[in-house]
């Protein structure tokens, strides 16, 4: 959905033409996957980081367009709401130190954006949901003035026909009806891209689905929304509910949500996921490429523009991607992880899931026999709700049983698998050690961004009113973030 568009009004004829192109693209994609040598190439990693812009009082500051103009950087893009930005990092191809280099990229970009922000009285903050965000900060006026966002907002609202319903229950409860999709923009994420060869896609994607709850529990960093203590990773529930256009009747609820964990294990290849998207979800924006999207340019695969546009309007937490660059290749985009707390944490989490995906890839037939997909989906929501306190279902091939185990215990036991996987990917032992030491530190101290925020907030509430406690929480978070230390080394004292 990052593609720029100009047209904003569509007729039924536009949708019919788009549907025809979409079907043609899907068949073209199937033929492409069958072509000898398609998509084969070196492993690469990439990342996108969504960010909050806040003022000196820790409140959201809606100046993303101004900061983008100052930056004059093609890798910096505008997000849904005017107080958010996204930075797209340069992919790293077959490096021995990819995660160390990703950390350097991230530090450099954040330092530059912070420097620009100071000129406008702004601070740049990676955090899953800003604790000081208020209802008055959202609404149609908060949406960035970019055509695709307004088209998307109108299309989702028109499909629902009435306000979106948000109901999230944790320690506290948020229940409200909202007229537009701007609450979705309250969520900021760290999105990790992992290139895979087509022959390895099914096993790699299934490994990502199995392992995402583990890494999400460790990465959780969004426990507060509108001043309420909700899920440790509230983004998961908020994202789905804030754009869920299905009505409450039984027929509508049988359809899958457009934000989804998945509908089952992949049996053969990526085509299954793209076909599901075409069969199950109506197009939102019927934009048609001016050129034939089945034709290739030198050094590129066919654009499959309509298929890629449609797939980008289906928000899978692990998104399958076809990219026409480099003669066409496949990636898996890990989208469930939140922004923050620091580059050290985000990069270590990326290394962890990459290592687990590669380390478990060859075991997937054995592991999946012991965990039906619905248990993996339950794991995902348990991890989002409870973070490091979650208990998850996990297959035990040695005893041929499906067990319930604390997520921290599963993570500890999985670290050697992640290490083996990273080494198999060609990552140097030094880089592996650096990243997994951060993971071990968080596990040993039982600390992540969500736990840190909740502990600090509850202490602050003993001596401040709610708004003052939230503001001081963000100020403390910002000071600790600027140290660059992983969150398990942060102090909870002001």
The pLDDT tens digits of the residues spanning 125-175 come to 999 999 999 999 999 999 999 988 988 888 888 888 889 999 999 999 999
pLDDT at residue 444 in the model: 98
Domain 40-268+329-488 falls under CATH 3.30.590.20: yes
In tens, the pLDDT along 78-93 reads: 999 999 999 999 999 9
The count of C-alpha atoms lying within 13 angstroms of the C-alpha of 294, restricted to the half-sphere facing its C-beta, is 12
User: Which tokens go with 432?
Assistant: 């592996």
Query: Is the separation of the CB atoms in 304 and 270 below 8 Å?
Result: no
Instruction: Say how far apart CA 305 and CA 288 lie, in whole Å.
Output: 8
Number of Cα atoms under 13 Å in the Cβ half of residue 369:
9
Mean pLDDT taken over the chain = 95
Other C-beta atoms lying within 10 Å of the C-beta of residue 325? 10
- pLDDT attached to residue 269: 97
Report how far residue 380's alpha carbon sits from residue 208's, in angstroms, rounded to the nearest whole number.
Answer: 11
Give the pLDDT of residue 300: 96
Q: At what angle do helices 429-444 and 343-361 cross, to 10 degrees?
A: 110
Look up the pTM and report it: 0.96
DSSP 329-352: EEEEEE--PBP-S-HHHHHHHHHH
Residue 427 has pLDDT above 60, yes or no: yes
Q: How confident is the model at residue 192 (pLDDT cuts 50, 70, 90)?
A: very high
Q: How far does Cα 8 stand from its chain's mean position? A: 27
Mean of pLDDT values over 189-197 = 98
> What gap in Å lies between CA 314 and CA 309, rounded to an integer?
9
433-482 pLDDT per residue, tens: 999 999 999 999 999 999 999 999 999 999 999 999 999 999 999 999 99
Burial class (CB in 10 A: 0-12, 13-18, 19+), 413: exposed
Report the percentage of the chain scoring pLDDT > 90.
Answer: 90
Helix, strand, coil shares of the chain, percent, nearest 5, are 50, 15, 35
Q: How far is CA 216 from CA 31, 33, 140, 335, 345, in A?
A: 35, 31, 30, 10, 12
> What are φ and ψ of residue 488, in 5° steps?
-70, -10
Q: Strand 259-260 vs strand 315-316: parallel, antiparallel, or unpaired?
A: parallel
* Residue 93: DSSP 8-state: E
- Rounded to an integer, what distance in angstroms lies between the CA atom of residue 271 and that of residue 276? 8
The string of DSSP codes covering 190-222 is EEEEEEE-GGGHHHHHHHHHHHHHHHHHHH--B
pLDDT at 134: 98
Helix and strand element counts for the chain (H, E): 16, 16
Mean pLDDT of 196-210: 98
pLDDT of residue 250 exceeding 90: no
Nearest to 58 by CA among 184, 232, 227: 227
Q: How far is CA 102 from CA 69, 84, 90, 415, in A?
A: 25, 21, 9, 21
- The Cα–Cα gap between 229 and 120 comes to 31
The domain spans of the chain are 40-268+329-488
Over residues 95-111, the mean pLDDT reads 97
Give me 197's structure tokens. 């060869």
Q: pLDDT tens-digit profile of 325-367?
A: 999 999 999 999 999 999 999 999 999 999 999 999 999 999 9
Angle at 416 between CA 414 and CA 417, to 5 degrees: 65
Whole-number pLDDT of residue 153: 87
Q: Please report the pLDDT score of residue 94 as a whole number.
A: 87
- Residue 70: CB atoms within 10 A of its CB come to 16
* Per-residue confidence (pLDDT) for residue 15, from 0 to 100: 94
Picking from 265, 161, 183, 190, the residue whose alpha carbon sits closest to that of residue 230 is 183
* pLDDT for position 1: 42
Q: Which residues pair with 60 in a beta bridge?
A: 54
Q: Which helix (H) or strand (E) holds 306?
A: helix 305-311
Helix (H, G, I), strand (E, B) or coil at 361: helix
User: pLDDT band at residue 252, thresholds of 50, 70 and 90?
Assistant: low
Which phi and psi angles does 84 have, rounded to 5°?
-130, 150
Spatial distance between the Cα atoms of 14 and 17, rounded to a whole number of angstroms: 5
pLDDT one-digit tens code per residue, 266-298: 999 999 999 999 999 999 999 999 899 999 989
DSSP conformation class of 3: S
The pLDDT of residue 3 is above 60: no
Q: How far is residue 424 from each of residues 96, 209, 431, measured CA to CA in Å?
A: 11, 20, 13
């Amino acid at each position: 959905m990052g593609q720029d568009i100009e047209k904003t009004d569509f007729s039924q004829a536009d949708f019919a033409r788009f549907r025809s192109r979409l079907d043609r693209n899907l068949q073209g994609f199937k033929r492409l996957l069958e072509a000898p040598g398609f998509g084969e190439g070196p492993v690469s990693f990439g990342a996108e980081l969504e960010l909050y812009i806040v003022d000196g009082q820790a409140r959201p500051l809606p100046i993303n367009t101004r900061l983008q103009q100052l930056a004059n950087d093609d890798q910096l893009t505008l997000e849904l709401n005017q107080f958010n930005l996204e930075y797209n990092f340069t992919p790293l191809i077959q490096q021995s130190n990819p995660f160390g280099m990703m950390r350097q990229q991230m530090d450099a970009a954040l330092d530059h954006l912070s420097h620009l922000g100071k000129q406008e009285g702004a601070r740049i903050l990676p955090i899953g949901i800003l604790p000081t965000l208020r209802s008055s900060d959202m609404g149609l006026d908060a949406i960035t003035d970019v055509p695709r966002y307004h088209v998307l907002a109108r299309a989702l609202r028109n499909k629902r026909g009435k306000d979106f319903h948000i109901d999230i229950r944790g320690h506290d409860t948020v229940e409200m009806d909202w007229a537009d999709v701007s609450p979705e923009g309250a969520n900021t994420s760290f999105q990790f891209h992992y290139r895979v060869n087509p022959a390895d896609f099914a096993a790699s994607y299934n490994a990502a689905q199995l392992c995402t709850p583990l890494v999400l529990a460790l990465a959780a960093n969004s426990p507060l929304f509108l001043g309420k203590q909700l899920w440790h990773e509230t983004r998961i529930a908020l994202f789905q509910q804030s754009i869920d256009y299905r009505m409450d009747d039984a027929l509508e609820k049988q359809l899958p949500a457009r934000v989804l964990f998945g509908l089952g294990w992949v049996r053969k290849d990526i085509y299954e996921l793209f076909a599901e998207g075409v069969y199950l979800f109506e197009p939102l924006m019927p934009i048609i490429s001016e050129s034939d999207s089945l034709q290739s340019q030198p050094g590129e695969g066919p654009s499959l523009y309509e298929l890629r546009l449609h797939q980008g309007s289906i928000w899978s937490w692990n998104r399958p991607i076809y990219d026409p660059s480099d003669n066409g290749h496949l990636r898996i985009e890990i989208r469930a992880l939140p922004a923050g707390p620091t580059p050290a944490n985000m990069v270590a989490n990326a290394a962890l899931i990459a290592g687990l995906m590669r380390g478990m890839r060859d075991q997937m037939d054995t592991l999946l026999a012991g965990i039906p997909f619905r248990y993996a989906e339950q794991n995902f929501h348990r991890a989002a709700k409870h973070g490091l306190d979650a208990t998850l279902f996990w297959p035990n091939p040695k005893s041929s049983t499906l067990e319930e185990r604390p997520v921290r215990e599963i993570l500890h036991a999985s670290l050697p698998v992640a290490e083996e996987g990273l080494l198999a990917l060609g990552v140097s032992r030094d880089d592996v050690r650096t990243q997994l030491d951060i993971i071990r530190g968080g596990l040993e101290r039982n600390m992540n961004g969500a736990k840190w925020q909740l502990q600090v907030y509850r202490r602050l509430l003993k001596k401040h009113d709610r708004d003052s406690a939230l503001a001081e929480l963000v100020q403390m978070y910002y000071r600790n973030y600027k140290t660059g230390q992983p969150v398990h080394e942060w102090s909870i004292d002001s």
